């Protein structure tokens, strides 16, 4: 991904986020609650896939720029 691609992607995400915020502001409490419950269900259903992707990302970060900053005992950068 080029810098221009990244900038365009981030700009698109900003536009989408503003549109979603407007829609959520207009939504009823029941609709917001239903959306939150659906999101929670999707997160629970996809936990194994999310954990695998997170592990992959952490391994990539560890092998990248600053591997010495990462603790081997946790999934967090050393402070």
Report the alpha-carbon distance of residue 37 to residue 31 in Å, rounded: 10
Share of the chain above pLDDT 70, in %: 81
Report the alpha-carbon distance of residue 57 to residue 75 in Å, rounded: 11
Confidence label for 62 from pLDDT (cuts 50, 70 and 90): confident
More confident residue, 68 or 18: 18
pTM over 0.85, yes/no: no
pLDDT digits (tens, 9 = 90+) for 20-57: 999 999 999 999 999 999 999 999 999 999 999 999 99
Predicted pLDDT at 61: 84
- Domains of the chain, by residue range, sit at 1-45, 46-79
**Mean of the per-residue pLDDT values for the chain?**
87
Dihedral, CA atoms, 45, 50, 52, 57, nearest 10 degrees? 180
Helix, strand or coil for residue 68? helix
Report the alpha-carbon distance of residue 70 to residue 79 in Å, rounded: 9
């Amino acid at each position: 991904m080029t810098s221009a691609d990244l900038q365009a992607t981030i700009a698109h995400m900003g536009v989408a986020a503003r549109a979603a915020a407007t829609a959520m502001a207009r939504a009823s409490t029941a609709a917001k609650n239903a959306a939150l419950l659906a999101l929670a269900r999707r997160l629970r259903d996809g936990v194994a896939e999310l954990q695998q992707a997170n592990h992959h990302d952490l391994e990539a970060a560890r092998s990248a720029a600053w591997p010495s900053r990462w603790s081997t005992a946790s999934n967090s950068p050393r402070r």
